[in-house]
Amino acid sequence: METALYLIPVTLGETEISQVLPPYNHDIIVGIKHFIVENIRSARRFLKKTEKAIDIDELTFYELNRHTDRKFIGEYLEPLKKGQPVGIISEAGCPAIADPGADVVAIAQQRGYKVVPLVGPSSIIMSVMGSGFNGQSFAFNGYLPVEVPQRIKALKKLEQKVQNENQTQLFIETPYRNAKMIETILGALNPKTKLCIAAGITCAEEYIKTRTVAEWKKEKLPDLGKIPAIFVIGK
């Protein structure tokens, strides 16, 4: 296989791998011995789920998360110098999308290494697909401020972008705070503004629904519990 940095998507939950990842990904994974991962334990589990016969002890893992000193991540690409492929595995979805893997990809590009993104599920893209909002122009805003006054201000700013530029706006919250986030959204935005709640994408508990703020206020709100969700506002 080619010497390259392979960006390897993983499932967004306990979904069957065959449902969301092509067989080609399997063939690439089994040819790689060096992996840059967000969490070693979950990466090992994913690899075993992909190929039961894989020998985990033969593999080398480099951990990349918020605790990793960015001064040393360039060293994770050393195998490429020797002609050995390297893979990046995120915790969920696609590497380098709202993910620390982007830092490694930037270094690989600077050094002239080939970068190969593999096909897989992205909750960001799939939530836009399912929302019915403008897919020509959209922005992912990550987490909004925790403090309520600042959060409301941020929501109104995003709503303004939707109205003035017809740019779809996406953001997320820590799952156990989803209910509070929905409450804040419905209290802050214009009744005519549309909100899509996309949760548990590709999983058994998948929930994707778009309503105006006024309509959401009349409905029984979803109990998302600890389900990862993306909130999308548009028109």
Distance of alpha carbon 220 from the chain centroid: 27
| Alpha-carbon span 213 to 192, nearest angstrom | 6
Q: What is the dihedral of CA 142, 229, 182, 125, to 10 degrees?
A: 60
Closest among 13, 57, 60, 53 to 36, alpha carbons compared: 60
Mean pLDDT, consecutive 10-residue stretches, the chain (235 aa), reads 96 93 96 96 95 95 84 92 96 90 95 97 97 98 96 98 97 95 97 98 96 96 93 97
pLDDT at 99: 86
pLDDT at 217: 97
pLDDT at 151: 97
pTM: 0.91
